[in-house]
Amino acid sequence: MRPGKAFFLVVLTGLCTALVACGRPPATPDLADAGGPGLSKGQVDQQDATTRWANGYCVAVGSLVDGLATMPSVDPSTPQRAVATSSDLLASMISGLDRALQGLQALPPSPVGGGEKVRTDAIAEFTGVRDRAASAKQVLDNARGSNSIDQKTLGAARGPLGEVAKLDLLAGFSTVPDLLTASSRAPVCEQLVTRDAPAGPRN
């Protein structure tokens, strides 16, 4: 499958180790001294709140990694096995997308302008990918046990897998300067950026 499933899993499995506490954001470092001189307590508090929100956002979208890192391999030994294992692969993907969506929906209101649009856009994108993955899984499930399986059915998982591989987990942060700055201080966001960056030029 393209993008290469094996490479994608290597990248995401490494990230998963950094997100071992996906159920709750790791403690955010004390930012009282990190804001620099000349900042009022209110400004520092705003920075702290924004960093916590960004970190929580990254925990939510990063939880997608759990499902991807445990995706089963496709068994091409027979068309029937390929269909069954491709369906199982999509089930893992859908589970990861569901966790990401639940995390995004559970976030408190953004403390900065533009944050809610970033969240809303991510929810819409993840939901679209999830729905298309569910449709592809249904096609595969309908073919389970069939003695005649065509190539289109066998390749049903390729589209959703490609979409997930291309997801930018921090899409939108660059349009909100406060969130972009906060992401450099948020531990989980730093892990997402560090792990995801080398994957860009590869196929």
pLDDT along the chain (203 residues), means of 10: 34 34 39 47 74 94 78 85 90 92 96 95 96 95 86 89 89 92 91 57 37
Which phi and psi (to 5°) does residue 100 adopt?
-65, -45
Residue 31 lies in a domain: no
Residue 95 lies in a domain: yes
Instruction: Report how far residue 94's alpha carbon sits from residue 129's, in angstroms, rounded to the nearest whole number.
Output: 9
Residue 31: predicted pLDDT: 40
Residue 45: predicted pLDDT: 76
Residue 177 lies in a domain: yes
Count the domains in the chain: 1
Residue 126 lies in a domain: yes
- Is residue 127 within a helix (H) or strand (E), and if so which, with residue range? helix 115-143
Residue 32 lies in a domain: no
Residue 191: predicted pLDDT: 84
Residue 168 lies in a domain: yes
Output the pTM of the full model: 0.73
Residue 77: predicted pLDDT: 85
Domain residues for 70?
12-22+40-199
Residue 27 lies in a domain: no
Distances (CA, A) of 191 to 15, 16, 107, 170, 187: 7, 10, 19, 11, 6
Residue 17: predicted pLDDT: 34
Residue 110: predicted pLDDT: 95
Copy the structure tokens of residue 203: 């196929």
How far does the chain reach from its first CA to its final CA, in angstroms? 11
| Four-residue CA torsion sign, 139, 141, 142, 145 | positive
Residue 171: predicted pLDDT: 86
